[in-house]
A and B are shown apart, each in its own frame.
Chain A
């Protein structure tokens, strides 16, 4: 029975189909918000769904001279990573399907898998644009991963555990974003870096390198990466919400909180110019990492005092 339950939860809820659909909803919300900020109307609610179906139905062109295994395999791996990470996160404020000590690290790694696959895909591609995009992707990964992890580590240290479920439970009793405001801000901005949203979209800068690492992808491969990105959006936002904005609890309220974060991200997207890749990295390592470390220090000290 439990296997059946596991399978069902994997394929339908909370992972699987429902996750993909909610990814599309979030993507729509993001695009709509950005459009409104830009004084436009924006896309219709089913737009991401139409985009995905269309991509899946397009011809797939494989550039000559690329590694077949990598070319076809990377999109699948990327999507799987994002979907698997969802199993450990409290989607919609419900308890995660699976959990074990240390699943925080595993989750984050799985989320990064997407970016690494993008990077590899770019390297594998036969055009120089995709190579530059790949380099930028990986550089950016290298930059924000550490502060983002540190930012998520804050609540983990406060809760005294590596288990996402336990951290979320702890967080629902304590308001983390008040207790660790710096960590919250870093987590939010790190989120945008992770998702390669503007202003951190140098790896995909349309006006400079055509389409970045995924320049050479079309059809199914592109669709899978696309879905992977929206799933990552949902999972990462849920993680940050669970840790900082009050953990597990009422699904509706959780949803509202995630939307607030989305609103904030849409605002930042519209208001800032794209940062150059060296500026991104510089900013992260100088401010992001440092601030996050400081926050950790504060937590360590406080814990030492209080306990």
Chain B
């Protein structure tokens, strides 16, 4: 279905609920509905295949309007259908949950609860996701009147609900400082011997309050802030932001700049996937592959440094274009590097598909069927490995992808091996795309003038990060700073699938399973709970914490 037909159909099926439709952009349909109609509206959207829930944007519209706004974004191809709901601006207004229809919504709903102070009725888990345990109750960061002083720590309270105490299973905490996780996150797995019977997760260790912070920085300063959401996919974040803001300001970025952006995006994808390959191999205990892949990754880092001046956080995007140009020398360097890399990537592809000891850890493990991938809302290579054809660069091309498209890579098996395969093949596609662009770099300017104040409006931009779709909702009030910036990063959506799949596997498979979805905690510091079985016992985090504190206090005393 084309974008127009999708939007048209959406308009039709949502007509019974609609209190008003608008079309803010050509590929978007905004439908105002009543909060109580939300489950029904979601259900018709899903049954007509009109999109997957990509994000929920909570906003406080302020004292004058005196409303809270929730926007539910459903994406299908390039079409975005948004359900807009207004709630009274009080403490904990009600809204029904849609987690029963869309599992991944449970995460978003937890965010709604803690960030905006909305009470989601019927959500399976309403514990904290990002905010720390010692955050005071009743203080919601996304509310307009929030000040940092209000957030002074209080004594932590019980955030994890107690589970049933029948049986005597063993809980293994992994994190927040655990060798497998290069980034902090906290998992709790209930194990019976070595088999996992339940999984739960708590994030918030990397939650820095960036969305709120963007409101206090001007449009250009935000580039530097958003770059550092994640060191691995920093270019993706700035791309999404820049594309959105440029749309709002109605600035046309020159072709050359767009092409350069795509080259850097491709290079970033190469570095990210090679990094991931090394980390996943390290987690499997295959250190040699880790060493080799990171050694080859240095080639890309060198390239990026030559082009942009920095190995990480390249900061090549300026609002309206790019900052640095490509010379003939750069092109030569890139071509040479691509020669080397393609050969190495083919070698790694060969290894991950044929090395017997590696396959023992990846084949048939974590298998996710196409239906499950859809249901869990998986994104990126994790989804594509199960055969789900979802790639923003193809569904909704942006920037130079119109002119230099890339091909879709999918696999059928949906197990860990497939995920490795998909990522390696994607790299080959990226290499090819980079070569093509470098050989056909459009002439032109690097950047155009960008206004200091961005006209009022709101826009959505979606970009394919190495891990999946990154979703940006940008709202401007006509000033020098955004009024609201909502970021939904891909790993958030992939957690559901990873943790659900963990149940039934061995404890030893956990690092590989988590690595298989290429988690980026920094990108998405959001919480997610997964599965609870009523016949296991868990220690809540605060219980373990108390125990630990007591233990070390006693050690100190005996010293």
Q: A residues within 8 Å of B by Cβ?
A: 37-40, 61-65, 126, 128-129, 132, 198-199, 201-202, 205-208, 210, 270-279
Contact = CB atoms under 8 A, between A and B. Distances in A.
Interface of B: 170-173, 178-180, 194, 281-288, 291-292, 295, 355, 357-358, 360-361, 506-511, 551-552, 554-555, 558
Interface centre among A126, A207, A276 (most CB of B within 10 A): A207
B554 A64 contact: yes
A278 to B, nearest CB: 7
B92 to A, nearest CB: 38
Given A39-B291, A202-B508, A205-B285, 18 more contacts: A38-B288, A38-B292, A40-B291, A61-B555, A63-B551, A64-B552, A65-B551, A132-B507, A198-B287, A205-B508, A208-B507, A270-B287, A271-B288, A273-B284, A273-B357, A274-B285, A276-B508, A276-B509
Given A128-B172, A207-B282, A275 B360 contact: yes
B194 A277 contact: yes
Given A38-B287, A64-B551, A126-B551, A207 B511 contact: yes
Output the residue of A37, A126, A206 with the most chain B CB within 10 A.
A206
Contacts of A274: 284-286, 361
15 contacts: A126-B551, A128-B173, A129-B172, A198-B285, A208-B508, A208-B510, A272-B357, A273-B284, A273-B285, A274-B284, A274-B361, A276-B361, A276-B508, A276-B509, A277-B194
Give the one of B172, B288, B355, B558 with max A CB within 10 A: B288
Q: Most chain-A Cβ atoms within 10 A of its Cβ — which of B287, B508, B551?
A: B508
A39 B295 contact: yes
Majority DSSP secondary structure for residues of B touching A:
helix
Nearest to A279: B360
A38 B360 CA distance: 21
A64 B552 CA distance: 8
A206 B181 CA distance: 11
Interface centre among A38, A63, A202, A208 (most CB of B within 10 A): A208
A78 B22 CA distance: 76
Given A273-B284, A276-B508, A208 B358 contact: no
Contacts of A273: 281, 284-286, 355, 357-358, 360-361
A278 B506 contact: yes
B124 to A, nearest CB: 27
B286 A210 contact: no
A273 B171 CA distance: 26
Contact of B179 (A38, A132, A210): A210
Contacts of B295: 39
A271 B281 CA distance: 12
A232 B361 CA distance: 29
Contacts of A210: 178-179
A63 B170 contact: no
B291 A38 contact: yes
A40 B290 CA distance: 12
Contacts of B172: 128-129, 132
A256 B295 CA distance: 32
Contacts of A61: 555
A176 B508 CA distance: 38
B183 to A, nearest CB: 14
A219 to B, nearest CB: 13
Contacts of A202: 508
Contacts of B171: 128
B510 A37 contact: no
Contacts of B508: 202, 205, 208, 276-277
Nearest to B555: A64
Contacts of B558: 62, 64
A63 B559 CA distance: 11
Contacts of A64: 551-552, 554-555, 558
Nearest to B509: A276
9 nearest A-B residue pairs (beta carbon): A274-B285, A207-B180, A38-B291, A273-B286, A273-B357, A272-B357, A276-B508, A270-B288, A207-B283
